[in-house]
Amino acid sequence: MQPKLLLVIAVFFAFGFQKHNLDGREVLKKMYDRYSTKWYRTFTFNQTTEVYRNDTLRHTETWYEAVMFPDKFRIDFGPTDSGNAVIYKGDSVSIFRQGKLRGVRKDENDLTFILGGMYFMPFDKVLEKIQGYGYDITKSHEDEWKGNPVYVVGANMGEDTLNQLWIDRKNLYVVRMLTFNDNRKEEGIFENQISLGSGWTETKVHFYINNKLIQVETYHDCKAGMDLDPRIFEASEFGKVYWQK
154: in domain: yes
User: What is the reported pLDDT for 244?
Assistant: 75
53: in domain: yes
39: in domain: yes
The CATH number for 67's domain is 2.50.20.10
User: What is the reported pLDDT for 96?
Assistant: 97
Q: How far apart are CA 104 and CA 13, in angstroms?
A: 59
Q: What is the pTM of this model?
A: 0.89
- Contact residues for 225 (Cβ-Cβ < 8 A; gap 6+): 40, 41, 42, 196, 197
215: in domain: yes
Each residue's pLDDT tens digit in the chain (245 positions)?
555 544 444 444 444 444 557 899 999 999 999 999 999 999 999 999 999 998 899 999 999 999 999 999 999 998 878 899 999 999 999 999 999 999 999 998 999 999 999 999 999 999 999 999 999 999 999 999 999 999 999 999 999 999 999 999 999 999 999 999 988 999 999 999 999 989 999 999 999 999 999 999 999 999 999 999 999 999 999 999 888 76
Query: What is the tally of structural domains in the chain?
Result: 1
User: What is the reported pLDDT for 79?
Assistant: 81
242: in domain: no
Across the strands, what pairs with 195? 200
4: in domain: no
Query: CB pairs under 8 A, 24+ apart, for 237-241?
Result: 238/85, 238/87, 238/94, 238/96, 238/99, 238/101, 239/83, 239/99
12: in domain: no
Residue 232 DSSP code: G
User: What is the reported pLDDT for 180?
Assistant: 97
Tell me which residue range forms the domain holding 44: 20-237
User: What is the reported pLDDT for 243?
Assistant: 81
32: in domain: yes
Q: 123-132 vs 24-35: helix axis angle to the nearest 10?
A: 130
